[in-house]
Chains A and B, each alone.
Chain A
């Protein structure tokens, strides 16, 4: 399992100054959360780390190699990405959708085998959408689609998970079960790096945090050092009240 490293990385957001370059390493077993207001560049950062966007400066390394030196297929055997937005131009069933997660592992002439299908079905079961296998994805609810997307990456079985708002559209119970699943992945030696809207989910489940300010400022580090109320208030431009519950800080917005 390789770490994912940002080296002097400046993401390319049009019309914004370079800000501070990013230098961090997502190590196996770690669970990172990216926090920031709308438009701060969370998605751009995630796509840049996945090699889908070209950074303005610097590089992203998978282990010792820069992503630009690796073939897409090789990268996709290590990096899995859950997108915030998905296109479905053509109707496809839930099982077919999960099965595309096997794409990086199959040679061009190979058909998906029974083993591949088993992996996909297991992943769907784990995300509680196994009973929907034969349904068309475009007939599902937003939360169900989100879980199918996560199941697709689970089928892909990458070392490093990159997720864009994985809790989107999910009800409370499924938010918790998805974050528990990701925690299990991290415990198994994989790493997780995700953008989150919900400060409290991040405070509860992430061991590392990266705060992304709209002007390009960033700071990152272990969660307990990053969860400083004044820093978070500046991040969101929102007064917060901090309380503690079940051993984790809970941030409640102050009503104006």
Chain B
């Protein structure tokens, strides 16, 4: 089956490039797409160089990496749970990361410690949700979703508590982090590197994932070592989520919307879907972030608001259709 895997990926790659050029060019001072490319190739005025390379490009790349990581994490969790509703945000992982980050902010710590604390929170939340939902049996979809929703509600309460007792001058930063915002992201390169690495890693695993999507027994009967594979996906998905949340706060629904849309168009071959998720998720978040910057310019909306506006209807539609 020499299915043309490359064509859809090429189209998506071009779309992401176009979205990035648009994003970098849009803002208080707009830069024409041709000029953006020229600057990237080392030409253009000093002002343009600073504007594009130092101010806008890192943010755009951060948005891309965050979106890609979340979409791939969502797609992996959906295969693991054989449920198209699984998503890091819905399962309460983002909530755990938020609590971790806010704790660090509340303690007056900044920078790397906030990131590290968010990372620990995300991993803790993953362990909790998957551990509780697993129990003695297997991961049944309804039990996992319910566990995730309940645990997320618990995180929500903790977050409210922390906001209530925190000093006023810390509140804006905390709120922005909660709503999901890429403007504070530091260097996008580690996240982009991770995204690329995971896409390479899942290529040889892709066919096994396709088989796993048909249930653990069927997969075992076809020669998949189910337990090790499930743990690999689980750890990868948690790592991706934690990295994304650490970078940009809790941005919801990218992991839900992007894989779903892509499956409708491209089918469910993970060898295609996972890299496509990386590209399309990145593109979506770059566009959402651009929109967030211009809708009420010069003010900025947190990008999480835009993705939630897209994601909630999609989620409800999926739930409605699956009954």
Interface residues of A in 64-100 (CB under 8 A from B): 71-77, 79-81, 83, 86-93, 96-97, 99-100
In the complex the two chains form, what is the Cα distance from A114 to B3 in whole Å? Answer: 10
Chain A residue numbers with a CB within 8 Å of B2 are: 111, 113-114
Are A96 and B267 in touch, CB under 8 angstroms? yes
In the complex the two chains form, what is the Cα distance from A96 to B3 in whole Å? Answer: 12
In the complex the two chains form, what is the Cα distance from A90 to B78 in whole Å? Answer: 9
Are B222 and A89 in touch, CB under 8 angstroms? no
In the complex the two chains form, what is the Cα distance from A103 to B209 in whole Å? Answer: 11
In the complex the two chains form, what is the Cα distance from A54 to B288 in whole Å? Answer: 51
Out of B3, B141, B268, B269, name the residue touching A91 (CB < 8 Å): B268
Interface residues of B in 1-54 (CB under 8 A from A): 1-3
Chain A residue numbers with a CB within 8 Å of B208 are: 103, 108
- State how many angstroms separate the Cβ of A109 from the closest Cβ of chain B: 5
Q: Mark B257-285, 1 if CB is under 8 A from A, else 0.
A: 00000010001110100000000000000
Q: Given contacts A89-B83, A103-B207, A108-B205, is CB(A76)–CB(B218) below 8 Å?
A: no
Interface residues of B in 178-235 (CB under 8 A from A): 203-205, 207-208, 210-211, 213-215, 217-218, 220-226
Are B223 and A87 in touch, CB under 8 angstroms? no
Chain B residue numbers with a CB within 8 Å of A96 are: 267, 269
Chain B residue numbers with a CB within 8 Å of A47 are: 217
**Is B82 in the interface zone, CB < 8 Å from A?**
yes
Are A86 and B215 in touch, CB under 8 angstroms? yes
Chain A residue numbers with a CB within 8 Å of B211 are: 100, 103
Q: Mark A188-217, 1 if CB is under 8 A from B, else 0.
A: 000000000000000000000000000000
Are A50 and B1 in touch, CB under 8 angstroms? no
Q: Given contacts A100-B210, A111-B2, A116-B1, is CB(A156)–CB(B83) below 8 Å?
A: no
Are A103 and B214 in touch, CB under 8 angstroms? no
Are A76 and B1 in touch, CB under 8 angstroms? no
- State how many angstroms separate the Cβ of B44 from the closest Cβ of chain A: 43
- State how many angstroms separate the Cβ of B253 from the closest Cβ of chain A: 19
In the complex the two chains form, what is the Cα distance from A71 to B228 in whole Å? Answer: 13
Which of B83, B208, B211, B221 lies at the interface centre, i.e. has the most chain A CB atoms within 10 A of its CB?
B221
Interface residues of B in 267-307 (CB under 8 A from A): 267-269, 271
Closest to B215 in A: A87
Q: Give how many B residues have a beta carbon under 8 Å from the other chain's beta carbons.
A: 32
In the complex the two chains form, what is the Cα distance from A106 to B210 in whole Å? Answer: 13
Out of A103, A114, A117, name the residue touching B222 (CB < 8 Å): A103
Are B214 and A87 in touch, CB under 8 angstroms? yes
Are A72 and B207 in touch, CB under 8 angstroms? no
Chain A residue numbers with a CB within 8 Å of B96 are: none
Closest to A95 in B: B1
Q: Mark A39-81, 1 if CB is under 8 A from B, else 0.
A: 0000000010010100000000000000000011111110111
Chain B residue numbers with a CB within 8 Å of A89 are: 82-84, 141, 213-215
Out of B84, B203, B204, B218, name the residue touching A90 (CB < 8 Å): B84
**Is A180 in the interface zone, CB < 8 Å from B?**
no
In the complex the two chains form, what is the Cα distance from A86 to B215 in whole Å? Answer: 8
Q: Give how many A residues have a beta carbon under 8 Å from the other chain's beta carbons.
A: 39
In the complex the two chains form, what is the Cα distance from A83 to B218 in whole Å? Answer: 8
Chain B residue numbers with a CB within 8 Å of A112 are: 1
- State how many angstroms separate the Cβ of B224 from the closest Cβ of chain A: 6
Are A72 and B220 in touch, CB under 8 angstroms? yes
**Is A101 in the interface zone, CB < 8 Å from B?**
yes
Are B225 and A72 in touch, CB under 8 angstroms? yes
In the complex the two chains form, what is the Cα distance from A98 to B267 in whole Å? Answer: 15
Out of A90, A99, A103, A116, name the residue touching B224 (CB < 8 Å): A103
Closest to B226 in A: A72
- State how many angstroms separate the Cβ of A88 from the closest Cβ of chain B: 7
Are A50 and B214 in touch, CB under 8 angstroms? no
In the complex the two chains form, what is the Cα distance from A103 to B271 in whole Å? Answer: 14
Are B220 and A90 in touch, CB under 8 angstroms? no
In the complex the two chains form, what is the Cα distance from A109 to B201 in whole Å? Answer: 11
Are B218 and A73 in touch, CB under 8 angstroms? no
Out of B1, B213, B267, name the residue touching A99 (CB < 8 Å): B1
Are B210 and A113 in touch, CB under 8 angstroms? no
Could you list 29 A-B pairs, sorted by A, with CB under 8 Å? A50-B221, A52-B220, A71-B223, A71-B225, A72-B224, A72-B225, A73-B224, A73-B225, A76-B221, A76-B223, A86-B214, A87-B82, A89-B83, A89-B213, A90-B82, A90-B213, A91-B263, A96-B267, A100-B211, A100-B222, A103-B207, A103-B208, A103-B224, A104-B222, A106-B207, A108-B205, A111-B1, A111-B2, A156-B222
The 3 closest A-B pairs by CB, nearest first: A76-B223, A89-B82, A108-B204
